[in-house]
Structure 1
Amino acid sequence: MPIPVETFHLDPRAPGTLQARIQQVVAEGILSGRFRPGEKLPSSRRLASHLGVSRITVTLAYTELQANDYLTSRGRSGYFVSDNAPAPPDFGQRAQRQDKVDWGAALARRAQAETPFDMDRPPDWAAYRYPFIYGQADRSLFDHANWRLCAMQALGARDFDALTQDQFDGDDPELVSFLVRHTLPRRGVHVTPDEVLITMGAQNALWLAAQLLAAGRAVAVEDPGYPALRQLLAQTGSRVTPLPVDADGLSPQAIPGGTSVIFATPSHHCPTSAILPRARREALLARAAALDALVVEDDYEFEMSALDPPSPALKSLDTEGRVIYVGSFSKSLFPGLRLGYLVGAAPFIREARSLRASVLRHPPGHIQRTAAYFLKLGHYDALVRRIGKALAERRAAMAEAVARHGLEVAGTQGQGGSCLWMQAPPGTDTGAMALRLRRDSVLIEPGAPFFAGPEVPRHFYRLGYSSIPAARIDEGIARIAAALAPGQAGG
């Protein structure tokens, strides 16, 4: 029985080449049981006409499916579903399910935050004309060609073991070596390979640190601060004390007695961009020593110091091994990479490695080796310079537009980065304002989720500029200013 040509549809939003998408449609039809062995497919000419593609594209897709034994060719009769094609399992008639589980009572622990730390960012954010959002990659800046070449090199026979073997709790030695010899020394951090652990991004590194160090203990965090960190700490049962941040960051004197772990972003505070001065860094280490406490340093975006040279990491001043250092390539490369690293004393790293192995073994070997090549061949440094130049241009456009339209910057502008921490007039609900701005194709991030506690200020917001072209910044800021005009900014 021939398969009707009307059965075939291509989603214009689906990724991949036309040939790959046609292969996928046919394969899915076979794997789902809709297309059965022996059934004839439409001719390449007819399917090409129906889909609006070239005949050679359909022919190549059929040929590839035949090579993989999904299809078979019968002389001049055309293509048929192969008798050897993968078949879906037959489990008989599906029983009707009626879920009677009370999941509110069944869950031993709740992992979902009341306020999502992604600030309810729409999944189609790239379709907005003025996306002032933080932490997304700019396709126009990323070196896709060289990343692809490095990925292909990592697929070669020479790197077969790194790609295919279960390293259990090991890391790619090429990547670790580059971190130890090049990346970390730039931050003033000098360690040995047994003091480094590769993680699935900074989030995974913070989770490992929280699980090993903070469970059931007194912990100090910055307020405002990284919302996802508070969620991680809540899951460990730690006793969290939020500490206010001023123009110079966290005040060491405010850390209460009995604190066991201090989580901080001294080189680029989240979200205000405040930089902890040298005197405060030394005071923070002295306070940690007096409390016999540890410090977890989240050192993100240090490569994006477009205005001033980056200050050395807090870890570089640590002479007692108290600082656990968290780094990531997610901001400088792309967030979907999910590749970061944890640096600390060897006994701590051994425990972190064991905990990581019990959850995810290790980050994929191919990703680690691809990143190692991208770093070693100089592509990463070239990319950082290109991104830094673009961010400096956008930063200047942001500063000019903010001043022209009378908006108020609440955070510091001293070291660059890729966002501004802003302050609206008192009484403004920036959460409600953000929803109104979406209708005007403008995205901002409300500031309330950055604060701890039930009663938080709602007139702060964050403007990222890593994903918006400089030419659109002024008009986007103008639309935000219009939304803040008297009569428009209320909750």
Structure 2
Amino acid sequence: MAISVETFFLAPDAQGTLQSQIQEMIAQGILSGRFHRGEKLPSSRKLALHLGVSRITVTLAYTELLANDYLSSRGRSGYFVSDNAPVPPVYDPAPHSEDRVDWTRAITHRFTGGDTPRKPDDWSTYRHPFIYGQVDPTLFDHANWRICAMRALGAKDFAALTSDYYDRDDPLLVEFIARHTLPRRGITARPAEILITMGAQNALWLAAQLLLGPQRRAVVEDPSYYALRDLLGHTRCATLPVRVDADGLPPEQVPPGTDVIFCTPSHQSPTTATMPMARRRALLNRARDLDALIVEDDYEFELSFLGAPYPALKSMDRDGRVIYVGSFSKSLFPGLRLGYLVGSEAFIREARALRASVLRHPPGNMQRTAAYFLSLGHYDTQMRRMAKALHARRRALEQAIGQHGLTIAGRGVYGGSSLWMRAPEGVNTTRLATVLRSRSVLIEPGAPFFAGPDKPQGFYRLGYSSIPEGRIAEGIAGIAQAIPEALS
């Protein structure tokens, strides 16, 4: 790779001769890691013309760097960064100036410091990654996704690839969601009531921004998806955690004055509890009595390999007060970042305008690729393959858990991709996770899912979508062996 001549500049206030300045500029680029071993430098003529100096000045600088083994010469090919040059492994540019800004005063809204934990980027290198929400590449249909992507890049779909939809979405994707995806959840919706989002979290953010503010109150499940509490904090609303039980969110515990209820009735996050039909009706009645809205996150409904799931809460809504959130991130792959909002046309109109002011729309070529993958039947085929694999992993996981006497605190009635676990009394699962990580086992401590300062420390989540079936028993044995080391 050649180093662009445009990356070289002489500082107006630099000291020393032009030759020494050029030498220092190149040496600094190598020492900082900006220039890599084997990369070709601009010719002396091009660099001299770019810098406005004589060619002999550049040639002398190159010759001196060649003598010091920073550069090497390859006959008539030019000068290259030497293989023996002291290049650091990671590029870490030094600041050009001192930061004198008081950022504590300059920043008016803070988005750091929430409960969202950081998952290891190298999770796939662990032998036993009981990590939730990551994709197993062996279960994904790469071949047909590639075919759909190539089709979306073709001349026929040039407009979908290159056009600015402004605040619109790909009509093929919206049509598939309206005609095929939503009816499976018992939901009927027109295109004007559907908005494509950058995953479920973006959908939740849009809903929170539109519905909440400093004078409003939101109920969230406790425990719940930790990122939801973080984004609700940005609205400055009053967030009221309501502890879930074996059937999910208890409607009678939703306090008066509540404006918005966030819930996961089909597959509670993270306990996996499924809300019975009677309680769903009671929750709708409670929301009607309070004149509250409900935001239903219906994640993982596609992964129901133990039986057909109940219809979505949205399908039972006769007042238009339920806003439905769906996503393809869990069923296809997390990096796709495509989800959707379904709600009354008046709500979607405002959500569309808010989305357009932030990111216009999700990339058109990704929407069109997903539309082809869905409409050509590849998605359903993949769901069947995933269901079969997850069912086998679930059986292996529950069998190993039983053999080692571990305790399941929650398991999805219809399937899913995780189990909610309770450790023995006195075990701190954050400490347990640290011990296990050094042994190539990943689990998710449960504390970040809970609200408030006194978070229970004895829960943890085991995801099984990203671990091969043959490694599950060995990983569970490792967890059982490490538990005594995590006693408080």
Query: In which range does the TM-score fall when normalised by the shorter chain?
Result: 0.7 to 0.9
SS of the aligned residue for 2:455 comes to coil
Maintained 8 Å contact 1:444/1:462 = yes
Which residue pairs with 2:227 in the alignment? 228
The answer to whether 1:175 aligns with 2:181 is: no
Which residue pairs with 1:35 in the alignment? 41
Which residue pairs with 1:313 in the alignment? 312
In the TM superposition, what whole-angstrom CA distance separates every residue of 1:137-190 from its partner, at most 9, and x where no partner exists?
A: 100110011101100000011100111011100000000000000000000000
Against the structure 1 CA distance between its residues 219 and 145, is the aligned structure 2 distance closer, same or farther, given a 3 Å change threshold?
same
Q: Write the distance in 2 (CA, Å) between the matches of 1:189 and 1:287.
A: 21
Which residue pairs with 2:409 in the alignment? 410
The answer to whether 1:98 aligns with 2:104 is: no
Within-5 A mapping of 1:360-379: 360-379=359-378
Which residue pairs with 2:328 in the alignment? 329
In the TM superposition, what whole-angstrom CA distance separates every residue of 1:205-238 from its partner, at most 9, and x where no partner exists?
A: 0000000012221110000000000000000001
Maintained 8 Å contact 2:411/2:418 = no
In the alignment, which of 185, 190, 193 is matched to residue 192 of structure 1? 190
Kindly state the Cα deviation for residue 78 of structure 1 after the two structures are TM-superposed. 7.4
Within-5 A mapping of 1:6-405: 35-37=41-43, 96-115=96-115, 117=116, 119-216=117-214, 217-405=216-404
Maintained 8 Å contact 2:314/2:324 = yes
In the TM superposition, what whole-angstrom CA distance separates every residue of 1:230-260 from its partner, at most 9, and x where no partner exists?
A: 0000000010100010000000000000000
SS of the aligned residue for 2:348 comes to helix
Maintained 8 Å contact 2:308/2:414 = yes
Maintained 8 Å contact 1:447/1:459 = yes
Against the structure 1 CA distance between its residues 80 and 372, is the aligned structure 2 distance closer, same or farther, given a 3 Å change threshold?
farther
In the TM superposition, what whole-angstrom CA distance separates every residue of 1:304-356 from its partner, at most 9, and x where no partner exists?
A: 01112111100000011000000000000000000000000000000000000
Kindly state the Cα deviation for residue 34 of structure 1 after the two structures are TM-superposed. 5.9
Maintained 8 Å contact 1:224/1:450 = yes
The answer to whether 1:489 aligns with 2:486 is: yes
Maintained 8 Å contact 1:249/1:275 = yes
- Identity of matched residues, %: 62
Q: Write the distance in 2 (CA, Å) between the matches of 1:340 and 1:37.
A: 50
What is the identity, as a one-letter code, of the residue corresponding to 1:474?
Answer: A
Q: Write the distance in 2 (CA, Å) between the matches of 1:96 and 1:473.
A: 50
Flag the structure with larger Rg: 2
Kindly state the Cα deviation for residue 38 of structure 1 after the two structures are TM-superposed. 6.8
Q: Write the distance in 2 (CA, Å) between the matches of 1:489 and 1:29.
A: 46
Maintained 8 Å contact 2:114/2:230 = no
Give the alignment's TM-score, normalised by structure 1.
0.81
Against the structure 1 CA distance between its residues 29 and 289, is the aligned structure 2 distance closer, same or farther, given a 3 Å change threshold?
same
SS of the aligned residue for 1:174 comes to helix
Maintained 8 Å contact 1:29/1:35 = no
Figure out how many residues of one structure are paired with residues of the other and give that number. Answer: 413
Q: Write the distance in 2 (CA, Å) between the matches of 1:443 and 1:96.
A: 40
Maintained 8 Å contact 2:274/2:412 = no
Which residue pairs with 2:432 in the alignment? 433
What is the identity, as a one-letter code, of the residue corresponding to 1:363?
Answer: P
Kindly state the Cα deviation for residue 114 of structure 1 after the two structures are TM-superposed. 3.6
Q: Write the distance in 2 (CA, Å) between the matches of 1:480 and 1:104.
A: 43
SS of the aligned residue for 2:466 comes to coil
Kindly state the Cα deviation for residue 95 of structure 1 after the two structures are TM-superposed. 9.1
Against the structure 1 CA distance between its residues 37 and 444, is the aligned structure 2 distance closer, same or farther, given a 3 Å change threshold?
same
Against the structure 1 CA distance between its residues 312 and 128, is the aligned structure 2 distance closer, same or farther, given a 3 Å change threshold?
same
Against the structure 1 CA distance between its residues 95 and 209, is the aligned structure 2 distance closer, same or farther, given a 3 Å change threshold?
closer
Q: Write the distance in 1 (CA, Å) between the matches of 2:114 and 2:284.
A: 33
In the TM superposition, what whole-angstrom CA distance separates every residue of 1:75-126 from its partner, at most 9, and x where no partner exists?
A: xx97679xxxxxxxxxxxx9940111222222101101343x2x33211110
Q: Write the distance in 2 (CA, Å) between the matches of 1:406 and 1:151.
A: 47
Instruction: Single out whichever of 438-447 and 404-413 deviates more from structure 2.
Output: 404-413
Kindly state the Cα deviation for residue 428 of structure 1 after the two structures are TM-superposed. 1.3
SS of the aligned residue for 1:280 comes to helix
Structure 1: gaps (5+ residues): 4-27, 41-76, 82-93
Give the alignment's TM-score, normalised by structure 2.
0.82
In the TM superposition, what whole-angstrom CA distance separates every residue of 1:356-402 from its partner, at most 9, and x where no partner exists?
A: 00000000000000000000110000001000100000000011000
SS of the aligned residue for 1:98 comes to coil
Maintained 8 Å contact 1:273/1:415 = no
Maintained 8 Å contact 2:304/2:416 = yes
What is the identity, as a one-letter code, of the residue corresponding to 2:486?
Answer: A
Against the structure 1 CA distance between its residues 414 and 95, is the aligned structure 2 distance closer, same or farther, given a 3 Å change threshold?
closer
SS of the aligned residue for 1:182 comes to helix
Maintained 8 Å contact 1:150/1:370 = yes
Against the structure 1 CA distance between its residues 349 and 95, is the aligned structure 2 distance closer, same or farther, given a 3 Å change threshold?
closer
Which residue pairs with 1:89 in the alignment? none
Kindly state the Cα deviation for residue 412 of structure 1 after the two structures are TM-superposed. 3.0
Q: Please, what is the CA RMSD of the aligned residues? A: 2.1
SS of the aligned residue for 1:481 comes to helix
What is the identity, as a one-letter code, of the residue corresponding to 1:166?
Answer: D
